[in-house]
């Protein structure tokens, strides 16, 4: 099983789904038994998801998608 | 559908994602729209060399990132690692206790995060220097793997990881400063010193 320091060090690699299955299992094992690391983990999981949620909302201007379609030449306009 | 129509259809699906990333890159709507348009024009021109089965999404982000770096002379590949202050590990998490509860309606543990506005999160991202901002955008917003980010940016995997790490910590510090400016932080509530 991983210890606290290892768990905190590898927390983001785990969150980013970059750990090998075996190592991920060791990290999960530690999170299950250590409330300190568990709460740090939950915070960072939320931090990651909130960046995604809040930085992904940009309304497109009217007509922008139409202008983009024109980038593809005539072939793409057949069924437009 | 012809392969061309397929390609157009698939590429258009990624337009909103590309636009959001372009907004964070250029910080300006007109420039962001131009950047996505330029990306699609280049993609269409390179269609002949595009291999079916290639990761189209990563390919488009790579074209856009390169276009951005060249067009705006971004500092992407220069080793200016000192451009960011070194921020303490778990910066924001360690300061949760300083959130002034009376300023917030929520009582949940996650209040520190839900209290940030969309604009604050966008600003914190946009304040990061390019070489940190692009990896954070690609990972946290777009969900690309480290390997994909390394390919999009043409930098080593280890560099992706260290820039992500520093960029994320720096964002946490900026968000904390925004919260402080809004009067949501009472630093008297922080544990004193590091002797605990
Ligand atoms: Zn632990």
ipTM of the complex: 0.87
Taking a C-beta distance cutoff of 8 angstroms, is the pair B28, B122 a contact?
Answer: no
Q: What is the CATH number of domain B3-72?
A: 1.10.1740.10
The CA distance from A34 to B122, in Å, is 33
What local confidence, expressed as pLDDT, does residue A80 receive?
A: 41
Whether residue B196 lies within 8 A of chain A, CB to CB, comes out as no
Contacts of B72 (CB under 8 A, 6+ apart): B25, B26
**3-state class of B49 per DSSP?**
helix
Q: What is the pLDDT of residue B136?
A: 97
| Contact yes or no for A50 and B89 at CB 8 A | no
Confidence of residue B53 (pLDDT cuts 50, 70, 90): confident
Place of tokens 């299950």: A32
- Long-range CB contacts for residues B172-178, cutoff 8 Å, separation at least 24: B172/A47, B172/B87, B172/B91, B172/B92, B173/B85, B173/B87, B173/B91, B173/B92, B174/B123, B174/B124, B174/B127, B175/B92, B175/B116, B175/B120, B175/B121, B175/B124, B176/B91, B176/B92, B176/B95, B178/B116, B178/B120, B178/B123, B178/B124
Pair B44, B34: CB distance under 8 Å: no
Residue A74 pLDDT class (50, 70, 90 cuts): low
pLDDT digits (tens, 9 = 90+) for B152-177: 999 999 999 999 999 999 999 999 99
| Segments making up each domain of chain B, as ranges | 3-72, 91-189
Tell me, which fold does domain B91-189 have in CATH?
Arc Repressor Mutant, subunit A (1.10.10)
- pLDDT of B133 > 70? The answer is yes
Range B129-135 average pLDDT:
94
Tell me the two tokens of residue B55: 């990761």
With cut-offs at 50, 70 and 90, classify the pLDDT of residue B48.
confident
pTM given for the model: 0.88
- pLDDT category at A76 given cuts 50, 70, 90 is very low
Give chain A positions within 8 Å (CB) of B93.
Answer: 40, 43-44
Min distance A49 CA to chain B CA atoms (Å): 7
H/E stretch holding A32: helix A21-33
B176 near B99, Cβ under 8 Å?
Answer: no
- With contacts defined as CB-CB under 8 Å, which chain B residues touch A47? 92, 113, 168, 172
Distance CA A60, CA A38 (A): 39
Question: Inter-chain contact A72–B11, Cβ cutoff 8 Å?
Answer: yes
Rounded CA gap, B133 and B96, in Å?
A: 24
Q: Where are the domains of chain A?
A: 4-72
Under 8 Å between Cβ of A55 and B122: yes
Measured at the alpha carbon of residue A50, what is the angle toward residues A48 and A53, in degrees to the nearest 5?
Answer: 115
* Residues B87-119: tens digit of each pLDDT: 998 999 888 878 777 766 655 555 667 788 899
Give the count of beta carbons closer than 10 Å to the beta carbon of residue A52.
14
Question: Do A43 and B4 lie within an 8 Å CB cutoff?
Answer: no
A46 touches chain B (CB under 8 A): yes
Per-residue pLDDT, averaged over A34-39, amounts to: 95
pLDDT of residue B111: 65
B-chain residues near A64 (CB < 8 A): 19, 33
């Amino acid at each position: 099983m991983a210890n606290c320091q290892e768990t905190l060090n590898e927390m983001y690699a785990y969150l980013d789904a970059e750990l090998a299955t075996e190592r991920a299992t060791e990290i999960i094992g530690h999170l299950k038994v250590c409330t300190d690391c568990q709460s740090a983990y939950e915070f960072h999981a939320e931090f990651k998801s909130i960046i995604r949620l809040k930085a992904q909302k940009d309304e497109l201007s009217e007509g922008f998608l139409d202008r983009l379609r024109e980038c593809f030449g005539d072939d793409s306009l057949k069924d437009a | 559908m012809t392969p061309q129509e397929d390609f157009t259809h698939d590429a258009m699906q990624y337009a909103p994602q590309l636009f959001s990333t372009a907004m964070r890159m250029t910080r300006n709507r007109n420039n962001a729209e131009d950047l996505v348009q330029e990306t699609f024009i280049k993609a269409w021109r390179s269609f002949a060399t595009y291999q079916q089965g290639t990761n189209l999404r990563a390919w488009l982000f790579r074209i856009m990132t390169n276009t951005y770096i060249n067009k705006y002379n971004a500092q992407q590949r220069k080793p200016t690692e000192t451009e960011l202050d070194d921020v303490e590990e778990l910066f924001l998490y360690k300061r949760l206790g300083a959130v002034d509860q009376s300023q917030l309606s929520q009582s949940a543990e996650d209040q520190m995060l839900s209290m940030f506005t969309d604009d604050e999160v966008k600003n914190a991202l946009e304040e990061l220097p390019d070489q940190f901002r692009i990896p954070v955008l690609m990972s946290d917003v777009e969900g690309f793997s480290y390997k994909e980010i390394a390919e999009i940016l043409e930098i080593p995997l280890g560099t992706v990881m260290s820039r992500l790490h520093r960029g994320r910590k720096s964002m946490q510090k900026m968000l904390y400063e925004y919260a402080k400016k809004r009067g949501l932080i009472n630093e008297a509530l922080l544990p004193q010193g590091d002797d605990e």
